[in-house]
Amino acid sequence: MSTEFSYAPLLPTGPDQTEYRLVTDEGVDVVNGPGGRRFLTVDPAALTALTAEAMHDIAHFLRPAHLAQLRSIIDDPAASPNDRFVALDLLRNANIAAGGVLPMCQDTGTAIVMGKRGRHVLTDGSDAEAISRGVWQAYTRLNLRYSQLAPLTMWEERNTGSNLPAQVELYAEDPDGHPDAYKFLFMAKGGGSANKSYLYQETKALLNPTRMMQFLEEKLRLIGTSACPPYHLAVVIGGTSAEYALKTAKYASAKYLDALPTSGSMTAHGFRDLELEAEVLELTRNFGIGAQFGGRYFCHDVRVVRLPRHGASCPVAIAVSCSADRQAVAKITPSGVWLERLETDPARYLPEVTDAQLDTTEVVRVDLNRPMDEIRAELSKYPVKTRLSLTGPLVVARDIAHAKIAERLDAGEPMPQYLRDHAVYYAGPAKTPEGYASGSFGPTTAGRMDAYVEKFQAAGGSMVMLAKGNRSAQVTRSCEQHGGFYLGSIGGPAARLAQDCIKHVEVLEYAELGMEAVWKIEVEDFPAFIVVDDKGNDFFAEVTKPVLTIGRR
């Protein structure tokens, strides 16, 4: 069978509806070229300046639509008290971050830049280097965290101290059909949400409504809460390759593909399935996971993209953008250097209500200055999902510190007394601004420390743990055996915790590890929830089990 040639881009996007602001009109010029063509010239300094400005903005500001979605949770009578509490905390966090000092999340992410350069745009060819310089400027000058590790050998790594390298991908393509434009997507992707990117190699058998909804219920529950919901969820079905499906899911989670067509054609382009998006959103509403601690708002919204596929392959990619919804688009045109206008006054989304009006559940105040046995006895009085307010000392330790302490236990040394006497908070701070007790200091993903819990609790340490996200069954078993607890902290409001809750920070051990050191902090009214108790109960155990509800189309 022969057909006439026809072509459509795999991801045909519609008109750009973004509201931009002018960053600068320096470093760009228009020159005449052969054949009467006009060329846009762009200096490397313009690329650097745009990148530095973009990385600043996405660390401190959010899109108005995202903030409006948080506010809608508070206004929704069907939202749970915990949904509303988390949404209010995230809005407060956005207001603090918008001050431009404390970033909205302590994990200020891997810098990801995607650019499309029109055929009439001229640079000196060092675009990736100029963009990376802008990333370097932002991360070294602002109160952001360095997270990138350079592999020195297969087993040895060292923090680069600049958050470089960035992931820079540049394409020769007329953006939106404009040959004299250079357009960009800037993202900061933290480890929590990046680690919740999934690829499944499925078959044609998945492509029917019943099986698809069963599959998605099972897989979406597994995302859990460690990536800080409510999420912007993206599901991509099909793809010319596995990597293309994953990349499409990342772009879709950033709303970059919102203007895709909503139906397919024989040119085999990708499209959004709006009906399935609504069904999947309603599916997540019924999980019971909610905005981290029970409720409806596991997701703000859902994007489902259908791509063409090879007949023998059916990749399915799933990705999320978390409560630190950090991305912005930008463009360079003959009129200057332009960046998406993010919301600099998030206070207008705050409700005119008090905490008491939002809260319909008891808040248990826990004094962390008491001996560990007394703290555990107090926690043992309450069921999982109980909301807590913590005041007193916490020890802070995460991956590398846990590994070092485990080595000491294996060598026959005793558990450090600080882990016996105090609750342990899994976290790593961003840089501390001058005049502040702490930099942004939100929780890290608890599951990464699961392998250490039984060993540590058997040695008398880590009896009360504080972090974000769900944990494995082995942690529940260990807590039941040894009388321990896991408390969930709200993932996302790192700036608010630094400004309002953390009163003092000092290094206890391993100062050479930087943010991975063991710290001691003093907290006041630090919000948390009981997730795993000393009786073998785990709040997330029930809400992560598929019940095989079947959606119909």
DSSP structure string for 229-257: SSEEEEEEEEESSHHHHHHHHHHHHTTTT
Residue 553 pLDDT > 50 = no
Q: Do 64 and 184 sit in the same domain of this protein?
A: yes
Q: Do 395 and 293 sit in the same domain of this protein?
A: no
Contacts of 320 (CB under 8 A, 6+ apart): 193, 196, 197, 223, 227, 229, 231, 232, 233, 234, 253
What confidence score (pLDDT) does residue 358 get?
52
What confidence score (pLDDT) does residue 402 get?
96
| 1 is a domain residue | no
| 200 is a domain residue | yes
Residue 8 to residues 5, 310, 447, Cα–Cα distance (Å): 10, 17, 43
Q: Do 309 and 338 sit in the same domain of this protein?
A: no
Contacts of 59 (CB under 8 A, 6+ apart): 97, 103, 104, 108, 138, 142, 144, 188, 326
Q: Collapsing DSSP states into helix, strand and coil, what is residue 36?
A: helix
Q: Do 374 and 502 sit in the same domain of this protein?
A: yes
Residue 540 pLDDT > 90 = no
Q: Do 267 and 347 sit in the same domain of this protein?
A: no
What confidence score (pLDDT) does residue 3 get?
81
Average pLDDT, the chain: 93
Q: Collapsing DSSP states into helix, strand and coil, what is residue 321?
A: strand
Q: Do 307 and 342 sit in the same domain of this protein?
A: no
Which tops the pLDDT comparison, 227 or 315?
315
Per residue in 376-420, pLDDT (tens digit) is 999 999 999 899 999 999 999 999 999 999 999 999 999 999 999
Q: Do 22 and 167 sit in the same domain of this protein?
A: yes
Per residue in 69-83, pLDDT (tens digit) is 999 999 999 999 989
What confidence score (pLDDT) does residue 546 get?
55
Q: Collapsing DSSP states into helix, strand and coil, what is residue 514?
A: helix
The four Cα atoms 191, 192, 193, 194 give a dihedral, to 10 degrees, of 30
- Asked if residues 261 and 12 have their Cβ atoms less than 8 Å apart, the reply is yes
Element (H, E) at 415: none
Residue 168 pLDDT > 70 = yes
| CATH number for 385 | 3.20.130.10
| 357 is a domain residue | no
Q: Do 67 and 132 sit in the same domain of this protein?
A: yes
Q: What's the CA gap between 541 and 481, in Å, rounded?
A: 17
| For range 88-99, the mean pLDDT | 92
Number of domains in the chain: 3
Q: What's the CA gap between 494 and 106, in Å, rounded?
A: 6
What confidence score (pLDDT) does residue 550 get?
44
Q: Do 410 and 513 sit in the same domain of this protein?
A: yes
Per residue in 470-486, pLDDT (tens digit) is 899 999 999 999 999 99
How are beta strands 157-159 and 271-272 bridged, if at all? unpaired
Supply the range of the domain harboring residue 470. Answer: 362-530
What confidence score (pLDDT) does residue 362 get?
79
Does residue 103 have a cis peptide bond before it, meaning omega lies within 30 degrees of 0? Answer: no
Phi, psi for 511 (deg, rounded to 5):
-55, -30
Predicted model pTM: 0.86
Per residue in 15-58, pLDDT (tens digit) is 999 999 999 999 999 999 888 899 999 999 999 999 999 999 99
Q: Collapsing DSSP states into helix, strand and coil, what is residue 100?
A: coil
Residue 513 to residues 127, 141, 142, 520, 550, Cα–Cα distance (Å): 33, 20, 20, 15, 49
- Asked if residues 51 and 113 have their Cβ atoms less than 8 Å apart, the reply is yes
- Asked if residues 437 and 416 have their Cβ atoms less than 8 Å apart, the reply is no
| For range 97-124, the mean pLDDT | 95
| 274 is a domain residue | yes
Residue 548 pLDDT > 60 = no
Q: Do 374 and 512 sit in the same domain of this protein?
A: yes
- Burial of residue 4 (CB within 10 Å: 0-12, 13-18, 19+) is exposed
Residue 477 to residues 162, 473, 481, 500, 538, Cα–Cα distance (Å): 40, 6, 6, 34, 10
| 547 is a domain residue | no
What confidence score (pLDDT) does residue 359 get?
53
Q: What's the CA gap between 390 and 386, in Å, rounded?
A: 13
Residue 356 to residues 85, 293, 363, 497, Cα–Cα distance (Å): 10, 19, 11, 20
Q: What's the CA gap between 382 and 159, in Å, rounded?
A: 42
| 545 is a domain residue | no
Q: Maximum CA pair distance of the chain?
A: 83
Which tops the pLDDT comparison, 206 or 553?
206
What confidence score (pLDDT) does residue 356 get?
53
Per residue in 260-316, pLDDT (tens digit) is 999 999 999 999 999 999 999 999 999 999 998 889 999 999 999 999 999 999 999
Q: What's the CA gap between 477 and 472, in Å, rounded?
A: 9
Residue 543 pLDDT > 70 = no
- Asked if residues 14 and 259 have their Cβ atoms less than 8 Å apart, the reply is yes
Q: Do 439 and 332 sit in the same domain of this protein?
A: no
| For range 329-344, the mean pLDDT | 97
What confidence score (pLDDT) does residue 549 get?
47
| Span between the terminal Cα atoms of the chain, in Å | 33
3-state helix, strand, coil split of the chain in percent (to 5) is 35, 25, 40
| Exposure on the CB side of residue 453, measured as CA atoms within 13 A | 30
Structure tokens at 120: 């009439």
Q: Collapsing DSSP states into helix, strand and coil, what is residue 461?
A: coil
Q: What's the CA gap between 396 and 507, in Å, rounded?
A: 9
Token match 């630190």: residue? 324
Residue 126 pLDDT > 90 = yes
Q: What's the CA gap between 379 and 153, in Å, rounded?
A: 45
| 208 is a domain residue | yes
Give the single-character DSSP code of 398: -
Residue 357 pLDDT > 60 = no
| 541 is a domain residue | no
What confidence score (pLDDT) does residue 515 get?
83
What confidence score (pLDDT) does residue 545 get?
59
Q: Do 233 and 332 sit in the same domain of this protein?
A: no
Please report which confidence band the pLDDT of residue 1 belongs to, taking 50, 70 and 90 as the band edges. low
Please report which confidence band the pLDDT of residue 116 belongs to, taking 50, 70 and 90 as the band edges. very high
Q: What's the CA gap between 437 and 505, in Å, rounded?
A: 6
Which tops the pLDDT comparison, 112 or 431?
112
